[in-house]
């Protein structure tokens, strides 16, 4: 189970490429959301998770320093390991929080599903905090640290390992089955369902990487020294995949929007396909019933104001693919105008 220096270096290069791709997605996401004035808490959570992942990647390459270097002492190794593990765990849970908040912003303020998803993000934060507190409490004991084959690591207690496994499984279960439960209650077009199922499949892929990490976390001591290496490397793999997954939908939406705009850019005066689809598509109620009423508020004509958004639980295909399915918080000026409207009539 022991890794050679060349193999460890090659794996580190692969993880660096994986994380570099994830960082590129985060930058593209934040830039896109900033330009479209749609930055929200899910974007901030993704950005913070990316910053922690950068710190973790730095600690990964510090382990490749020469053994005679001053940063390769036992004390430095303890600090490096602690910072690296904390950063990995923070990036993983930051990605989960970002996914939960992205699910929340689909729904308008006051919608029960929105409150549920925000509560889910809060639960994830407390699960992460509890894991860090347990890790600090256990790893502050010098007897918990191992030095095997030049690898310095904190040998987690069985209680902490069990907690991490249960917390990861519970979080991923909720991230996968919460959208599935909502999909069962609303009838959606086939293309829209396929896209949402793709995102759910991405979450499942993240769960598989979490499973690999859990295997090495709970592996017996007989797997040493390879167990320590693979446990850390699997954590980096899970971190990179988590960051890619939580940014995938936004980036795909951005690419679709750019392609859609270029495709329809030469059609002067003609209504866009988004407008056609939105005008012709039936309105979906919160119970999933289709309505073609012509009464005000029932037709889902696509404009970019906040007042034409229905209070339904789901959204149209064009809204999903143009990033307009997100419910934007009304600005201060909009709220003041809405409050002043009754008094002026």
Q: Render pLDDT for 158-168 as a digit per residue (tens, 0 to 9).
A: 888 889 889 98
Choice between 309 and 54, residue whose per-residue pLDDT is larger = 54
Q: What is the model's pLDDT at position 334?
A: 56
Strand partners, 152: 147
Q: CA distances (Å), 159 to each of 229, 230, 276, in order?
A: 21, 20, 57
| CA 226 distance to own-chain centroid | 30
Q: Which of 320, 323, 344, 285 has its CA nearest to residue 37? A: 323
Selected residue with higher pLDDT from 14 and 327? 14
pLDDT band at 300 (very low <50, low <70, confident <90, very high): very low
Q: What's the pLDDT at 104? A: 86
CB atoms within 10 A of CB 66: 7
The rounded distance, in Å, linking the Cα atoms of 7 and 226 is 12
pLDDT one-digit tens code per residue, 229-259: 777 788 898 899 889 988 887 887 778 777 7
Residue ranges and CATH numbers for the domains of the chain are 14-261 (1.20.1070.10), 273-344 (no CATH)
Number of Cβ atoms within 10 Å of the Cβ of 253: 20
For the chain, percent of residues with pLDDT exceeding 90: 26
More confident residue, 343 or 83: 83
User: Residues 260, 273: contact at Cβ < 8 Å?
Assistant: yes
Looking at per-residue pLDDT, the higher value among 329 and 219 belongs to 219
- Sort 104 into a burial class: Cβ within 10 Å, 0-12 / 13-18 / 19+: buried
Would you say the C-alpha torsion 160, 161, 167, 171 has a positive or negative sign? positive
Kindly state the average pLDDT of the residues 2-12. Answer: 74
| Residue 98 to residue 327: CA distance in whole angstroms | 16
- 37 sits in the region (left: phi over 0; alpha: psi -120 to 50; else beta) called left
Residue 2: the pLDDT is: 56
The DSSP secondary structure of 45-70, one letter per residue, reads: HHHHHHHHHHHHHHHHHHTTS-TTSG
Q: What is the CA radius of gyration of the chain?
A: 24
Q: Which of 24-33, 201-210, 279-288 has the lowest mean pLDDT?
A: 279-288
């Amino acid at each position: 189970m022991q890794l050679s220096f060349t193999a460890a270096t090659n794996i580190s290069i692969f993880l660096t490429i994986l994380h570099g791709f994830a960082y590129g997605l985060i930058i593209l996401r934040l830039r896109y959301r900033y330009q479209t004035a749609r930055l929200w808490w899910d974007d901030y959570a993704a950005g913070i998770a990316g910053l922690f992942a950068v710190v973790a990647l730095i600690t990964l390459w510090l382990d490749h320093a020469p053994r005679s270097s001053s940063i390769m002492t036992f004390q430095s190794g303890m600090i490096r390991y602690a910072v690296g593990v904390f950063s990995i765990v923070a990036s993983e849970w930051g990605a989960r929080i970002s996914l939960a908040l992205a699910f929340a912003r689909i729904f308008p303020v006051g919608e029960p599903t929105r409150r549920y998803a925000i509560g889910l993000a809060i639960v994830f934060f407390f699960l992460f905090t509890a894991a860090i507190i347990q890790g600090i409490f256990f790893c502050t004991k010098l007897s918990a640290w191992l030095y095997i084959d030049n690898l310095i690591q904190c040998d987690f207690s069985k209680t902490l390992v069990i907690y991490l496994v249960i917390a990861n499984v519970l979080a991923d279960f909720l991230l996968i089955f919460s959208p599935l439960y909502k999909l069962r209650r609303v009838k959606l077009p086939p293309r829209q369902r396929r896209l949402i199922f793709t995102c759910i499949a991405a979450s499942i892929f993240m769960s598989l990487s979490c499973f690999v990490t859990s295997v090495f976390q709970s592996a017996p001591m007989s797997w040493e020294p390879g167990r320590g290496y693979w446990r850390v490397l699997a954590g980096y793999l899970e971190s990179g995949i988590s960051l890619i997954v939580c940014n995938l939908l936004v980036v795909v939406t951005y690419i679709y929007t750019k392609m859609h705009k270029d495709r329809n850019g030469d059609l002067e005066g003609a209504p866009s396909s988004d407008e056609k689809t939105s005008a012709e598509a039936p309105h979906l109620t919160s119970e999933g019933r289709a309505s073609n009423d012509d009464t005000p508020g029932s037709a889902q004509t696509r404009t970019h104001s906040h007042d034409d958004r229905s209070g339904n639980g789901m959204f149209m295909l064009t809204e999903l693919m143009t990033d307009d399915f997100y419910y934007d918080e009304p600005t201060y000026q909009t709220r003041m105008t809405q409050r002043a409207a009754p008094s002026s009539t």
